[in-house]
Chain A
Amino acid sequence: MRRSIKSGIDSTAGFGLYAFSHDELESIHDATLQILQDTGIKVMSEAALEIFHGGGASVERFNGYGIVKIPPYLVEECAFYAPRTVVYDARNPNDDYVSEPNRIGFTTFGGCINIIDPVTREIRLATKKDCGDIARISDYLNEICVVERSVNSMDMQNETQSVHNFEAMLTNTGNHIFLGADSARSINCMIELASLCVGGNDIFQKRPIFTVSVSPLSPLGLPGNECELIMEAATSGMGILILPMGLSGGTSPPTLAGVLVTHNAEVLSSIALAQLTRKGTPCTYGSTSTILDLRFGTASIGSPEYGMINASVAKLARYYRLPCFVGGGASDSKKPDIQSGYEFTLSTTLSALAGGNILFGSGVLEQGLTFDLAKLIMDAEMMRMIQVATQGISVTDENLAVEVIHEVGSDGTYITHDTSLKHMRNQSRSNLFDRRNRKDWVELTRGKAIQERAYEAAMDILQNHKPLPLPDNAAREIREVVEAFDAKERMDKNDDVDESKRKIEQF
């Protein structure tokens, strides 16, 4: 028999999510333009107000802030200046992450305060060491495409935590790094550290190995600190991640379509500030917006709405042709239990089907406050399953396998057929999730709970995984830079404290 080539058949590569029609996306866009033009956005930085004004927005000044109304052409133009696809350069070039439309990858949740201690299992404040450890585990896990600052170095003094976070991450991962910064000074220090690790500032300029994340103040506000960070990052040639945390029913409308409008307005106005500061600044369209649970008053990230909003944001980012970093996989549970597993799966699957480039949320519990290593390891296993599922079923002549089916007929078996040998490695592979029969499971695990096996796996990675080492001397050099920064900030702070003490005494 001969089968000729089929011409022009419709085909779909992978499973996806048809969340909105083009008309619906346009409606969200138009509503956003209207809000930015008529309602405006509250900008709490004089320097940023100047930039908006210079760019053609109208600025009305009040005490300590200004309302900026941005004409539609300017919003669209600025969104257009931001690069379409971004390659997130990594210290280890093998780990450069290409975020073309619909390519999906994963990372952890960010900025947690607590961690469940993997040894004592007690909840405690996270430390710089935890920040580095989680970066190392992330570096090891193939499913993780960029490394996010998962926890804060709570054992370090306030204004320097972000720099300490960065040091801990640089030494533990070769991947691209996403993290928040305390101030423009911290960004400058981070650039210095990154430059030492890549062999100089000129190389860093070509290959910026980290992205600074900033958060607008929902609803419709850009706080002074955010503006400062955007302008500083743009000026120094770095990319930014704009990550609103709108809470539907709290700081954002109770209707989810309305959340998309305010969220979009917050992101597009931040992009405008970045592009007006320096055209071509890479902007990642982010989201960790969700609902404020109106019964318990908590920012619920285990709710289906978290997945719905973040999957929708992925579609919006795609509409603007911008790379995106959206929520998926977080949980409200207090332990790495079955609730956390269900919650991870629902929102991550939605965001993955929607084609989000970087889905963040793994490893986190308790509305984003607490990190857990066992959850991270279990989540990574589920990420792999989701990667397989989103690939979908490819319908080709070879895969339809008519000849093979004919050959095996009703008497044969496929397990001995050559095609099974050829395709077996395409099957999803479980490691921690157990697919064995009961007897083998008992023998292998002694019935130990999956969480326990996950903690063990995490400890094993921590002991054995060696991330790409820093260049000679770099570790020592970055230590010195961090120490100098720490000392300088401490001195400045003492001056401040003396100042406020004096004021209190006067009073």
Chain B
Amino acid sequence: MIPAAFEYHAPASLDDATALLARLGEEAKILSGGQSLIPLMKLRLSSPPHVVDINGIPGLSYIREADGVLAIGALTRESELEESEIVRARYPLLHDTCKVIADPLVRNLATIGGNLAHADPANDHPATMLALGAEVVARGPSGQRRLPIASFFTGPFETALAPGELLVEIRIPAPAARSGGAYFKLERKVGDFATAAVAAQLTLRSDGAVEQAGIALTNVGLTPIKAVQAETSLRGKRLDDATIAQAARLASAASEPAADLRGSVAYKKDLVRVLTGRALRKAAERADRRR
């Protein structure tokens, strides 16, 4: 499995990169961790005439918490997220997520920016970012802009990034007190994409009722799905069995899976229900611990 020939570019700055991308247009593909792009090129499912390697651009790899926001540079590797103490201690949903992406070797190269920008509905970060209410920072030839994640995924493998724009940063609101999250993924084996997965993020009030809920679904539709009705159903309620079951049903109803080797439509919809219940319970348990 040999990729087709291409021209290689390694810009040393963001400005060079955006200028290059603007010039090359559709002809170019951005190479970040390469863990989605290179397999596609080896199978010749993608044969871009130009490859723009952004790994040589300094200052795109960081995990910083400041001013109520966790800012993550696009080139941050999954393994760096996994090893990050801030992420482990304060963003359990994100920690859960990066641990179940691909396998440990792939995670040493795969980047969070690439995971979101690739917009594969099977990728895990998109749902997590939807549940967390993140923002992405895009940088183009004419400057920088912020986009809410909810408007980022426009279709399978399609995002709101304009041609020539780079995703440079992901911004996650710092968790309020009594917040917690969890990611539940069913995969057939390590290294597999999700049969279905659910990201849940909760903030509880002091009386235990739900202040805010984020629920999003992986690989059960053409894009990652924000289960809005399920989220709304929880607001102001205490998390008893009935409330959780109700939210799980609504999340399941929001899913639009297709049948494939991983299972039937009915199976995947039911998995969303089961996994939503488990994710909410775990998220609540974690929120409870973080008073």
Chains A and B are bound partners: no
Task: Please report A residues at the B interface, Cβ cutoff 8 Å.
Answer: none
